[in-house]
């Protein structure tokens, strides 16, 4: 492997981004999944659709709207400026925000499926035994949904590592700030430096394969495939 | 993707319908039926004039141009790997030369169709853009990636000539091509940007905002070459008539006049 210092910088940045995004997504996504799995609100449909949007939208669409919305004339850009945060495009924080949206369904759906698969019964039993709602969430739901959470974390992480279109739209290709692995590979390919592109690409390929392999082996051991919903 | 089967067979039926209608539309419009079509790959900076040129060419000749706009680097890689383009309008000279060396383009068809010019642009009207660059009163300066785009390289040379390379280093953002660079400025995310003059000028006038046309002495000339690709030849050395007509039209006085309005020079 012939990785340059710039390549390693991109690798490090990507890992930092994916780790941070995965942790934030588990924090945000788990309550959201819990709510989606249990609610009978009329908002369930619209919220589910919103969460799943990044699955079907081309990343460039998401990136383009983020660029406009986060820009100085966009509503979010005006908000961040008022809050003294400045503008988010071309910054690491901007990438974190974009990745949260982009990888949200990959975290919410496995957790939601795990909670739905669990059914009402364990919760009813826990309630009969006198467990309050919070108690039920932490001592029943979370342990039962563990394989789902694991799948969610792995998918969220891997999907953020593989993010490209959105980053290209709002990143601005700044070394150490927004130049992640996928953008670095793209630069190598565009500049016709295929040898360098190969080193990084091969690394990504192996990484993705190992991650998926791990996930599927873990899921098999728990004897439940939580990446698919159960009836 | 996780929950599809929950909805039973309805999505499958829908997808089936979609696929069959797509298939049907392909059968109804065979692409071979329209003979005089030329597939042209065009560097992003030449997008606006090219649309104008295509309309006129179609009017004059009856031939139709099928155009793809993008970065020259990407087109070069695609042509190496069998892309169906017949004519390539690059943003530089190096890529057509490389294609000729690799046997994907014919050497005697190559000519310089335009000399690109660099402009420093902001969307704010009536400001001295050059003074703004020197004073550092901006948050971000956009330029095309110098490694990939000739206009990016020209921007880098300009900054070096003005001794500003170090002072803007932390505030420069890079577009993957000149179109994205334009978009960074246009959306207001970068206050200043080095773009192609053709992106902010038409009919000899600046479209909006303020522009400093960078003097030609500050950067190496941006010679943009056109070349006939092997896919545009019926057999060796014999271009498809529509491609030949287009290359001739591209060198006409009418086109010279037209692209000057977009800020290009001609040799």
Other beta carbons within 10 angstroms of residue B103's beta carbon come to: 9
Query: What tens digit of pLDDT does each residue of A1-27 get?
Result: 578 999 999 999 999 999 999 999 999
For residues A63-85, average pLDDT: 92
Per CB-CB distance under 8 Å, the chain B contacts of A169 are: 180
Average pLDDT, rounded, for chain A = 90
The residues, ordered by sequence, that sit 6+ positions from B255 with a Cβ below 8 Å of its Cβ are: B53, B56, B249
Distance CA B169, CA B176 (A): 17
Counting DSSP H helices and E strands in chain B, the numbers are: 11, 14
The residues, ordered by sequence, that sit 6+ positions from A48 with a Cβ below 8 Å of its Cβ are: A36
Which of A67, A168, A227 has its CB closest to that of B176?
Answer: A168
Other beta carbons within 10 angstroms of residue A121's beta carbon come to: 8
For residues A180-206, average pLDDT: 90
Which of A55, A73, A113 has its CB closest to that of B188?
Answer: A73
Q: Check A192 against B3: CB less than 8 A apart.
A: no
Burial class (CB in 10 A: 0-12, 13-18, 19+), B234: exposed
Q: Which pLDDT belongs to residue A175?
A: 87
Distance CA A200, CA A184 (A): 8
Distance CA B112, CA B95 (A): 13
Q: How far does the CA of residue B61 sit from the closest CA of chain A (Å)? A: 35
DSSP secondary structure, B11-48, as one string:
HHHHHHHHHHHHHHHHHHS-GGG--SEEEEEEEGGGHH
pLDDT at A173 over 90: no
Class in CATH terms, B34-115+223-260: alpha beta
* CA-based nearest residue to B145, from A107, A181, A189: A189
Q: Which pLDDT belongs to residue A230?
A: 39
Map out the domains of chain B as residue ranges. 34-115+223-260, 118-213
Q: Which two tokens stand for residue A54?
A: 């990044």
- Alpha-helical (H) ranges within B82-192 are 94-101, 129-135, 150-161, 165-168, 178-186
The residues, ordered by sequence, that sit 6+ positions from B154 with a Cβ below 8 Å of its Cβ are: B116, B118, B194, B214, B219, B220, B222
Are B227 and B96 in contact by the 8 Å Cβ rule? The answer is yes
Map out the domains of chain A as residue ranges. 5-40+55-221
By the CB < 8 Å criterion, does B1 face chain A?
yes
By the CB < 8 Å criterion, does A199 face chain B?
no
- CATH of B118-213, picked from 1.10.8.80, 3.40.190.150, 3.20.20.70, 3.40.190.10, is 3.40.190.10
Per CB-CB distance under 8 Å, the chain B contacts of A70 are: 189
Q: Which pLDDT belongs to residue A24?
A: 98
Closest residue, chain A, to B72 (C-alpha): A190
Query: What tens digit of pLDDT does each residue of B151-205 get?
Result: 999 999 999 999 999 999 999 999 988 999 999 999 999 999 999 999 999 999 9
pLDDT at A57 over 70: yes
Q: Check A109 against B5: CB less than 8 A apart.
A: no
User: Which contiguous run of DSSP H or E holds residue B213?
Assistant: strand B210-213
Query: What tens digit of pLDDT does each residue of A115-167 get?
Result: 999 888 898 899 899 888 889 888 998 998 998 999 999 999 999 999 999 99
Distance CA B191, CA B122 (A): 6
Q: Which pLDDT belongs to residue B32?
A: 39
Tell me the average confidence (pLDDT) per consecutive run of 10 residues in chain B, 267 residues long.
46 60 52 66 93 95 92 87 92 96 94 97 96 95 93 97 95 92 94 96 94 96 96 82 94 96 93
* Percent of chain A whose predicted confidence (pLDDT) is above 70: 94
Q: Check B189 against A228: CB less than 8 A apart.
A: no
- CATH of A5-40+55-221, picked from 3.40.50.720, 3.40.50.2000, 3.40.50.620, 1.10.3720.10, is 1.10.3720.10
The ipTM, to two decimals, is 0.75
């Amino acid at each position: 492997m012939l990785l340059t210092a710039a390549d390693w910088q991109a690798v490090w940045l990507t890992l930092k981004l994916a780790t941070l995004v995965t942790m934030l997504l588990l924090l945000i996504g788990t309550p959201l999944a819990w709510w989606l799995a249990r609610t009978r609100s009329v908002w369930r449909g619209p919220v589910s659709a919103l969460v799943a949007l990044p699955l079907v939208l081309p990343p460039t669409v998401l990136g383009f709207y983020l660029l406009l919305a986060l820009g100085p004339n966009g509503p979010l850009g005006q908000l961040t400026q008022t809050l003294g945060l400045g503008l988010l495009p071309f910054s690491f924080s901007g990438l974190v925000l974009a990745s949260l949206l982009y990888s949200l369904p990959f975290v919410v759906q496995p957790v939601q499926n795990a909670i739905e698969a669990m059914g009402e019964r364990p919760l009813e039993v826990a309630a009969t035994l006198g467990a309050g709602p919070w108690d039920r969430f932490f001592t029943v739901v979370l342990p039962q949904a563990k394989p789902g959470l694991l799948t969610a974390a792995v998918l969220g992480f891997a999907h953020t590592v593989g993010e490209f279109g959105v980053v290209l739209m709002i990143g601005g290709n700044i070394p150490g700030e927004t130049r992640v692995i996928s953008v670095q590979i793209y630069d190598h390919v565009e500049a016709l430096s295929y040898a360098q592109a190969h080193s990084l690409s091969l690394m990504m390929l192996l990484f993705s394969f190992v991650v998926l392999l791990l996930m599927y082996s873990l899921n098999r051991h728990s004897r439940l495939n939580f990446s698919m919903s159960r009836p | 993707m996780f929950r599809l089967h929950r909805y039973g067979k309805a999505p499958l039926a829908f997808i089936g319908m979609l696929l069959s209608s797509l298939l049907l539309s392909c059968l109804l419009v065979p692409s071979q039926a329209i003979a005089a079509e030329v597939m042209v790959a065009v560097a992003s900076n030449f997008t606006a004039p090219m649309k104008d040129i295509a309309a006129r060419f179609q009017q004059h000749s009856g031939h139709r141009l099928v155009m793809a706009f993008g970065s020259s680097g990407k087109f070069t890689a695609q042509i190496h790997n069998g892309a169906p383009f017949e004519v390539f309008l690059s943003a530089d000279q190096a890529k057509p030369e490389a294609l000729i060396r690799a046997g994907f383009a014919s050497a005697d068809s190559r000519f310089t169709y335009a000399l690109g010019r660099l402009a420093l642009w902001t969307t704010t009207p009536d400001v001295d853009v050059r003074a703004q660059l020197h004073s550092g009163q901006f948050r971000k300066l956009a330029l095309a990636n110098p490694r990939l785009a000739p206009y990016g390289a020209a921007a880098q040379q300009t900054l070096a000539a003005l001794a500003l390379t170090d002072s803007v280093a932390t505030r420069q953002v890079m577009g993957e091509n000149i179109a994205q660079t334009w978009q960074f400025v246009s959306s207001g995310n970068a206050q200043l940007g080095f773009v192609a003059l053709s992106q902010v000028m038409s009919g000899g006038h600046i479209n909006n905002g303020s522009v400093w046309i960078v003097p030609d002495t500050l950067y190496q000339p941006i010679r943009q070459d056109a070349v006939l690709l092997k896919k545009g030849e019926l057999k060796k050395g014999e271009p498809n008539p529509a491609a030949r007509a287009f290359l001739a039209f591209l060198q006409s006085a009418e086109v010279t006049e037209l692209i000057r309005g977009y800020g290009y020079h001609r040799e």
